[in-house]
Chains A and B, each alone.
Chain A
């Protein structure tokens, strides 16, 4: 049977008509692709699937934050400082209290900080949608009377930005570096991996803190010359670290792919190294890349919170979860416990990170059955 098929395809290749017929026939069969298979398995994994839905909603919500009728996250109101969470006051009409006149860009900047163009449009959209309505302090207020709910939601944007920046860096640098190293092999591979080893053995948190302080001294120079503020530099620094594991993993995968037949075939047909890399290797390591990405992102979010907590990451007036946690811990005192300052940011951070971890584990099981059950 197999021999017969082999011989028929052999004759087919010499006859263009027969070849066209076989090609059309083969198109009718649809293989079960890795992605379909993985998607099916992921859907069956209830916790991972729920986590994914949660994260999708979360991302959407944080992107659309300026559209939501929340009080400004930075507006202080000492009359209502340390208000306990309550739903009693459902909402009020006081957002951007500039009377009846048209809201200028300066008004928005005064209420927030220098928002991006898109965010300003969204704030205007919000005014069109909700008027001057804003929610009451459902989750309470902090020591300066700023709304906790609003701060948490706005803070989520920072976490997502950091996560995206780190993910992009680890994708671009890590995948290319690892793939190149694995593909070249021999001495170059050895050298490149040694460099990764060296970087691995550096306690990065110290170096990063050190770097950020140094950069902090020169921030005027950076801002003028390169247009980078501390936040951008912070994103870059984080991204520059988190590609190491990715590079290692990708290299391992590439080493095993390299000796497979289809790569050899491509080489025989005269494909250049770059083409083999981009067209054949990269798509094949993609599944493992996605798995590591979902495991990297919570680590990065944690790192951002960690640095912001230490006062070295995001700076006020911008909000981040690390800053919220820092405020909450600073407010702990034996006389009166403002539990909402600690509990709500912790719940937000914890649930997001938990969902990311569960999704990462689920994706790993779905995409790479060989790794299942390993931690």
Chain B
């Protein structure tokens, strides 16, 4: 276990370093900085701005400064965060530097504001996905070959095939305008979360439904289930207590990719429903050429996805002791 975690950590460091250096050098390789405007700035002002963001340094020094944790600035220049605290330290110290566009904010401020929103949205959609996916999966496994099974499987294929923004647009027309159940957009109350969460989670619900069905079918044909039936347990107990535990294993291993997918899928959903989450900020930063913000979000999501996958792998061994982490 310790060895597994240790190895994961080493690979994590390598991955992070690759992402960081590739995006950093690509960013700096681009001619013309983010401060180029239509109007040529006065040289003194331009030099000042460049000096503020260390753009006048040699490349390696900029990179070292960005990665941290040493402050290479002789003047110990510090950027003030939104709360007035001085923030400096480079990525290793959890500091992504100042935003290029939102002049008064650091990237950390923006992430701190928006990440809870995205996380909540992700949580809601994950709950939708699990609730819908597992229940339909069990239902179609228990009624294998029936019309219900067929309908659910078809729905699952449809859910996988349709892009979430298409589903979202249908649902908006349906549940916002024709039958006004939900608010159009925005964020704040639980009613704001249900529709976007559903749209975001639907694809994963479809996958989870498929996985649950396959897993349940496999378990239900095994000897210990027959024994459970034979000793007179109620069908509900057999399913809930004996079959479900084994049948959900494939679902658990899918949770890692699902989380990653929900995180990235929220880019679009946040945009459709005008939710001020990290995804919206990322898209804006990409179109506004706010490089530090874009890089910060990219690195943050790399960390999140990696951590999620590791946790899922760990929980997998807890559920199925036969799996050896050292092998993976």
Chain A residues engaging chain B, CB cutoff 8 angstroms: 194, 197-198, 201-203, 205-207, 209-214, 217-218, 221, 298, 302, 305-306, 309-312, 325-326, 328-329, 332, 334, 337, 339, 342-343, 345-346, 349-350, 353-354, 356-358, 361, 373-375
Distance of A346 Cα from B268 Cα, bound (Å): 16
Q: Nearest Cβ in chain B — how far from A212, in angstroms? A: 8
Across the interface, which residues of B come within 8 angstroms of A217, CB to CB?
30-32, 289
Distance of A317 Cα from B155 Cα, bound (Å): 35
Contact A203 B173 (CB under 8 A): no
Chain A minimum-CB-distance residue to B203: A302
B158 part of interface (Cβ distance < 8 Å): yes
Q: Nearest Cβ in chain B — how far from A47, in angstroms? A: 9
Distance of A213 Cα from B32 Cα, bound (Å): 13
B15 part of interface (Cβ distance < 8 Å): yes
Q: Nearest Cβ in chain B — how far from A209, in angstroms? A: 5
Q: Nearest Cβ in chain A — how far from B301, in angstroms? A: 5
The size of the chain B interface, using a CB distance under 8 A, is: 58
Chain B minimum-CB-distance residue to A341: B169
Interface residues of chain B: helix, strand, loop or mixed (majority): helix
Across the interface, which residues of A come within 8 angstroms of B157, CB to CB?
354, 357-358, 361
Contact B163 A306 (CB under 8 A): yes
Contact B26 A214 (CB under 8 A): yes
Contact A210 B161 (CB under 8 A): no
Contact A201 B306 (CB under 8 A): yes
B243 part of interface (Cβ distance < 8 Å): no
Q: How many residue pairs at the A-B interface have CB separations less than 8 Å?
A: 142
Interface residues of chain A: helix, strand, loop or mixed (majority): helix
Contact B163 A302 (CB under 8 A): yes
Closest 8 pairs (CB-CB, A-B): A353-B161, A354-B161, A375-B210, A206-B298, A346-B166, A205-B264, A213-B286, A203-B301
Question: With A205-B267, A350-B166 known to touch, is A198 a contact of B15 (CB < 8 Å)?
Answer: yes
B302 part of interface (Cβ distance < 8 Å): yes
Across the interface, which residues of B come within 8 angstroms of A302, CB to CB?
163
B14 part of interface (Cβ distance < 8 Å): yes
Contact of B31 among A197, A221, A337 (CB under 8 A): A221
Q: Nearest Cβ in chain A — how far from B289, in angstroms? A: 6
B162 part of interface (Cβ distance < 8 Å): yes
Distance of A356 Cα from B168 Cα, bound (Å): 22
Across the interface, which residues of A come within 8 angstroms of B283, CB to CB?
209, 310
B27 part of interface (Cβ distance < 8 Å): yes
Contact A349 B263 (CB under 8 A): no
B:174-222 near A, CB below 8 Å: 176-178, 184, 207, 210-211, 213-214, 217
